[in-house]
């Protein structure tokens, strides 16, 4: 349902709409294995198109709504997309104009059709109504036959990595990858008949179209959807629709808690939810539990290459257990912690690279066998690029990205450890730690800090405070105090932008040698 639009569908309505769209896709020439890109925010027809594309054996290519013209040109070209389904874009980047220019300039020769969800199509484009009308000549039996002939191992979705460190790669996920992962995630969350799930994360991300949509669908759980994230709209929908499950990234929950009327809203229906997409600070987890009243809030860990869920905490476990780790593996998922260089297994409690094996591991990166072989071993283990350790109870703890590891004069500094320490300071709302170039040491530790409202702590004070809990080589020597972090559209901190800000600022020592 889309309460802000007054739109309510049953699952039978969804089935009928996706069938009509599937017939239309066949009518305009989409064949099994063809790539169809959806470039739009969470409009009502997004989910029906997701199912329609799958039903005819085609492959859904998801496009981040924040992409600029050069970026969408790269994505459409690299993915060999044949058709784009889009909605009018934002003011700074009108999607229809961008696509019209790409087609006119011959930049995407494989791109044959553009269908517009809402708004007026440009020349050569068609509306969704026209697509549905074209499909009336295609018997529904053709859709059913296509569906029956599509193996579960076939590609269903190409998700492009968020690009926090470089050019995105197309992660190819099968029907089996996605449905198995979504079903296990929903079972772990123990969905019940009375549940109502909030969709506030973007559908172009695995969190939205897999964890929320497919997870809810496996249990026929009602979904309350917003076209785009709006914290006030989320709180209003939770209250009016008695939402019980709320999933999101830390930045979204932080925005909800910052709403001036959050304490006067009736949010008593909320029982559980998942915080994922990036590491959630412990104080924020406590506030979600205490101030939003989400008593069963869980931390989870995943990545697009794993469809995406890997671990999740138990919503029934004591809060202290849930906020101290990202939980235990999904059913069927195995973990290894290895030395990033030697691949030697690390013992319990020691940090190394997290390797994942299980039914969610991707088929590979699209049209990039070299990149695929670099992250999937011959035995089928996915190298996540994340650093972490497993504790005595089997729960996973994430320390950061290998690429974010700061090597200061030969000493390894795990950004996650420093961030966790900073977040325990009463005046620090959040922290992001990264490396900056240093002539003598190779790299120096830098930190970007968001202070709590009204706080005035400075760099020397934080440095002095960290001396009580961190070795000298781990303490930041360069500091940025910011109002917020640059984020991807899916809520991940773009540390390369923070690094650029720090380099532009120049070294400002904290006073510690």
Quick one: 396 and 414 in the same domain?
Answer: no
Instruction: Tell me if 133 sits within 8 A of 20, measured CB to CB.
Output: no
Question: Is 511 part of a structural domain of the chain?
Answer: no
pLDDT value for 91: 66
Instruction: Tell me if 23 sits within 8 A of 138, measured CB to CB.
Output: yes
Question: Is 276 part of a structural domain of the chain?
Answer: yes
Instruction: Tell me if 494 sits within 8 A of 486, measured CB to CB.
Output: yes
Quick one: 484 and 358 in the same domain?
Answer: no
Neighbour tally for 106: CB within 10 Å: 8
pLDDT value for 324: 82
Quick one: 334 and 386 in the same domain?
Answer: yes
DSSP letters along 166-207, please?
SS--EEEEEHHHHHHHHHHHHHHTT--TT--EEE-S-TTSHI
Quick one: 371 and 432 in the same domain?
Answer: no
Cα torsion through 72, 163, 298, 259, rounded to 10: -70
The tokens for 391 are: 């504790």
The tokens for 38 are: 């959806």
Quick one: 395 and 416 in the same domain?
Answer: no
Residue 8, domain extent: 3-150
pTM metric for this prediction: 0.86
DSSP letters along 107-156, please?
S-TT--EEEESSSPPPTT-EEHHHHHHHHTTS-HHHHHHHHHTS-TTSEE
Neighbour tally for 412: CB within 10 Å: 12
Cα 440 from Cα 185, distance rounded (Å)? 48
Neighbour tally for 501: CB within 10 Å: 14
Question: Is 161 part of a structural domain of the chain?
Answer: no
pLDDT value for 507: 65
The tokens for 457 are: 């702590």
At residue 259, the 3 state secondary structure works out as coil
Quick one: 99 and 195 in the same domain?
Answer: no
Q: Are strands 328-329 and 35-39 parallel, antiparallel or unpaired?
A: unpaired
Q: What residues contact 378, with CB distance under 8 A and at least 6 apart?
A: none
pLDDT tens digits for the chain (513 residues)? 888 888 999 999 999 999 999 999 999 999 999 999 999 999 999 999 999 999 999 999 999 888 888 889 999 999 999 999 999 887 667 899 999 999 988 888 899 899 999 989 999 999 999 999 999 999 999 999 999 999 999 999 999 986 444 568 999 999 999 999 999 999 988 888 899 999 999 999 999 999 999 999 999 999 999 999 999 999 999 999 999 999 998 889 989 999 999 999 999 999 999 999 877 888 889 999 999 999 999 999 999 999 999 999 988 888 888 888 999 999 999 999 999 889 999 999 999 999 999 999 999 999 999 999 999 999 999 999 999 999 999 999 998 888 888 889 878 888 888 998 999 899 999 999 999 988 888 889 999 999 999 998 999 999 999 998 888 889 999 999 999 999 876 677 889 899 999 988 876 554 454
pLDDT value for 68: 84
- Looking at the DSSP assignment, which residues form a beta bridge with residue 398? 388
Q: Report cis status (omega within 30 of 0) of the bond before 308.
A: yes
Question: Is 310 part of a structural domain of the chain?
Answer: yes
Overall domain count for the chain: 3
Quick one: 443 and 462 in the same domain?
Answer: yes
Question: Is 160 part of a structural domain of the chain?
Answer: no
Q: What residues contact 368, with CB distance under 8 A and at least 6 apart?
A: 169, 170
Quick one: 384 and 267 in the same domain?
Answer: yes
Name the DSSP class of 35.
Answer: E
pLDDT value for 92: 64
Quick one: 74 and 212 in the same domain?
Answer: no
Quick one: 374 and 472 in the same domain?
Answer: no
Cα torsion through 433, 434, 436, 440, rounded to 10: 80
Q: Angle at Cα 167 formed by Cα 163 and Cα 170, nearest 5°?
A: 80
pLDDT value for 279: 76
The tokens for 281 are: 């600070």
Closest CA to 311 of 319, 323, 303, 301: 301
CATH number at residue 307: 3.40.50.12780
At residue 367, the 3 state secondary structure works out as coil
Question: Is 106 part of a structural domain of the chain?
Answer: yes
pLDDT value for 508: 56
Quick one: 109 and 178 in the same domain?
Answer: no
Q: How far apart are the first and last CA of the chain?
A: 58
Longest CA–CA separation in the chain, Å = 76
Quick one: 259 and 184 in the same domain?
Answer: yes
Q: Angle at Cα 318 formed by Cα 316 and Cα 320, nearest 5°?
A: 140
């Amino acid at each position: 349902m889309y309460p802000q639009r007054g739109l309510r569908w049953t699952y039978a309505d969804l089935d009928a709409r996706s069938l009509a769209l599937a017939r239309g896709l066949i009518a305009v020439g989409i064949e099994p294995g063809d790539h169809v890109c959806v470039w739009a925010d969470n409009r009502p027809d997004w989910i029906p198109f997701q199912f329609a594309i799958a039903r005819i054996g085609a492959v859904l290519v998801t496009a981040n709504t924040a992409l600029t013209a050069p970026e969408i040109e790269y994505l459409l070209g690299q993915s060999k997309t044949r058709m784009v389904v889009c909605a009018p874009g934002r003011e700074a980047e009108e999607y229809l104009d961008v696509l019209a220019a790409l087609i006119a300039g011959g930049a995407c020769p494989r791109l044959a059709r553009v269908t517009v969800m809402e708004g007026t199509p440009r020349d050569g484009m068609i509306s969704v109504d026209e697509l549905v009308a074209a499909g009336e000549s295609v018997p529904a039996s053709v859709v059913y036959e296509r569906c029956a002939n599509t193996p579960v191992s076939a590609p269903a979705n190409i998700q492009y990595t968020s690009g926090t460190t470089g050019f995105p790669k197309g992660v190819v996920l099968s029907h089996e990858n996605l449905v198995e992962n979504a079903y296990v995630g929903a079972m772990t969350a123990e969905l019940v008949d009375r549940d109502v799930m909030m969709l506030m994360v973007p559908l172009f991300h695995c969190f939205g179209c897999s964890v929320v949509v497919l997870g809810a669908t496996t249990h026929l759980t009602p979904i309350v959807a917003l076209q785009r994230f709006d914290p006030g709209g989320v709180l209003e929908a939770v209250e009016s629709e008695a939402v019980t499950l709320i999933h999101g990234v830390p930045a979204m929950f932080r925005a909800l808690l910052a709403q001036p009327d959050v304490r006067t809203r009736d949010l008593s229906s909320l029982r559980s939810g998942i915080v994922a997409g990036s590491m959630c600070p412990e104080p924020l987890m406590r506030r979600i539990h205490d101030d939003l009243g989400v008593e069963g809030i869980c931390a989870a860990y995943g990545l697009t290459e794993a469809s995406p869920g890997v671990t999740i905490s138990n919503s029934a476990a004591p809060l202290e257990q849930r906020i101290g780790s990202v939980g235990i593996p999904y059913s069927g998922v195995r973990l290894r912690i290895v030395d990033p260089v030697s691949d030697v297994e690390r013992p319990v409690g020691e940090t190394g690279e997290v390797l994942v094996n299980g039914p969610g591991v991707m088929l590979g990166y699209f049209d990039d066998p070299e990149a695929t072989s670099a992250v999937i071993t011959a035995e089928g283990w996915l190298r996540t690029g994340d650093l972490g350790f497993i504790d005595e109870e089997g729960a996973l703890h994430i320390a950061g990205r290998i690429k974010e590891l700061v090597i200061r004069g030969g000493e390894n500094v795990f950004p996650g450890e420093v961030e966790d320490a900073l977040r325990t300071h009463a005046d620090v709302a959040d922290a992001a730690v990264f490396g900056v170039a240093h002539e003598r040491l190779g790299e120096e530790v830098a930190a970007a800090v968001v202070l709590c409202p009204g706080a005035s702590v400075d760099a020397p004070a934080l440095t002095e405070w960290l001396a009580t809990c961190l070795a000298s080589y781990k303490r930041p020597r360069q500091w940025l105090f910011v109002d917020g972090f640059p984020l991807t559209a899916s809520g991940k901190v773009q540390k390369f932008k923070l690094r650029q800000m720090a380099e532009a600022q120049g070294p400002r020592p904290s006073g510690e040698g």
